[in-house]
Amino acid sequence: MAKSKHAHKKLDVSSFPGPETVHRHELENGITFLARENFSSPSVVISGFQEGGSLAEPPDQAGLAGFMMSMLMRGTKTRSFQEIYESIESIGASLRFGMGKHNYSFFAKGLAEDLDHLLELLSDVLRNPSFPKGQFDRVMAEKVTSLAIRDQNTGARANLRFNAMTYPDHPYSSPTSGYQETIRNIDLKKIRTYHRNLIGPKDFVISIVGGVNADSALESVRRFLGGWTNSQQTTQPELPSLTPIKGLKRESITLDGKIQSDVVLGGVGPSRYHPEYLAAALGNNILGRFGMYGRIGSQVREAAGLAYYAASSLAGGPGPGAWKAIAGVNPVNIDRAIDLIRDEIRKFITDGVTQEELTDNQAYFIGSLPLQLESNEGVSGGLIHVERYGLGLDYYQRYPEIISSISREQVLEVAKEFLSPDDMVVAIAGPGEIEGDA
């Protein structure tokens, strides 16, 4: 066996976030505060999340949570849409929100001296949105137009079909952005109700990283968010169980005028809470990410020339996200590309990974960690990740050892648990099946 070109790097983990440098405090109203000082930077990053996303929205109103989140900065009880954005732009700062199935998130960045201004604004838009009718109409038009464009995208349509097939009668079957028909079912009353039931201090996590004193940052959070209460905030629903995929299930969507087909195939993968998730992440990197998109990219795109792109992905969120392969192909090559990807998955769960592949990917995971943590954004996001999944404040200091200890057997076992070339969903979107495609 050839010797790996990469040795595991010995990192000075004392420079990484850890119990000695990360401040964690739980406020009386349920907010969790995290902070790390970095006085070599004049800026500050605020990021966070709250448990609760789009899981609770009715199926016929898919996209409701995301619509509500898009309305937060369109006006508050004391600020107009224009005043909100002028207050941000005047100090060269940024503030944005995101929505997922399990939580919504927020991110703000500015100069350290403007921390209080950003926290006050964050508090205002979260707690006091006015949801003005004119802005509602504008957002509605923007979303319908965006979804109409998405509906003509072969990659997006293949992914939508894949999710619907993989997660029947499950919240994961529909996108957080919704569909044109469900977005049109939304009105201001539904948005206000969803906001009242979702947004509150319970399960709210905020991380502050940058050139600010941690104790002062905590007092600022107390001042602007510490008195926040919401007796109507509800608990998010539990995920329903999933029926295992049996056999090969294939569906195609025809989009007129297209010249490329996009293929998505795979099934349900491990959640981030799975004890062998990092072994699965290493395996996925080998299968379809590392270098020229791993084994799948090497065989399907480079060697066989069957795809414009070919790779794999592993969702790994709070719930059982998908473990799938994706490819963009000429319609005449659909079946050949699918067969070759399935062959690579079969080899992957039969023969496992080589020691060289494992060592190289471990070196990549370990070596890229300092780059992930070199900015305030990276550290703040890292603290949120640690808190979200209960990994412990010393997680990044332990990370090199955790990755180095993963064995070929662990990668093989978790791959066998979640991947099967004979039990998977195949979704295709493109100009249609080509006659004679074999």
Provide the pLDDT confidence category of residue 14 given band limits of 50, 70 and 90.
confident
Give the residue ranges of DSSP H helices in 105-263: 115-127, 133-150, 154-166, 180-183, 188-198, 214-225
Is the pLDDT at 324 greater than 50? The verdict is yes
Stated length of the chain: 438
Is the pLDDT at 203 greater than 80? The verdict is yes
The residue whose two tokens read 């087909």 is: 261
Per-residue pLDDT, averaged over 369-383, amounts to 97
Provide the pLDDT confidence category of residue 7 given band limits of 50, 70 and 90.
low
Per-residue pLDDT, averaged over 287-316, amounts to 93
> Smallest Cα–Cα separation from 319: which of 377, 271, 351?
271
pLDDT tens per residue, range 101-140? 999 999 999 999 999 999 999 999 999 999 999 999 999 9
> Smallest Cα–Cα separation from 104: which of 225, 233, 203?
203
Provide the pLDDT confidence category of residue 373 given band limits of 50, 70 and 90.
very high
* pLDDT on residue 10: 75
The residue whose two tokens read 């993989």 is: 166
Is the pLDDT at 1 greater than 90? The verdict is no
Is the pLDDT at 74 greater than 70? The verdict is yes
Average pLDDT, rounded, for the chain = 95
Of 416 and 52, the one with more pLDDT: 416
Per-residue pLDDT, averaged over 212-229, amounts to 98
What is the percent of the chain where pLDDT is above 90? Answer: 93
247 conformational bin, left if phi > 0, alpha if psi -120 to 50, beta if neither:
left
3-state secondary structure of 86: helix
Provide the pLDDT confidence category of residue 9 given band limits of 50, 70 and 90.
low
Give Cβ neighbours of residue 135 (< 8 Å, ≥ 6 apart).
71, 74, 75, 81
Provide the pLDDT confidence category of residue 11 given band limits of 50, 70 and 90.
confident
* pLDDT on residue 236: 87
Instruction: Look up the pTM and report it.
Output: 0.93
Q: How many CB atoms lie within 10 A of CB 235?
A: 11
Per-residue pLDDT, averaged over 230-239, amounts to 93
* pLDDT on residue 292: 81
* pLDDT on residue 94: 98
* pLDDT on residue 436: 40
Q: Which domains does the chain have, with CATH numbers?
A: 16-225 (3.30.830.10), 248-430 (3.30.830.10)
Cβ atoms 84, 71 nearer than 8 A: no
Provide the pLDDT confidence category of residue 8 given band limits of 50, 70 and 90.
low
Is the pLDDT at 6 greater than 70? The verdict is no
* pLDDT on residue 3: 45
Per-residue pLDDT, averaged over 187-212, amounts to 97
Provide the pLDDT confidence category of residue 421 given band limits of 50, 70 and 90.
very high
Is the pLDDT at 419 greater than 70? The verdict is yes
> Smallest Cα–Cα separation from 173: which of 186, 164, 165?
164
Cβ atoms 422, 248 nearer than 8 A: yes
* pLDDT on residue 435: 46
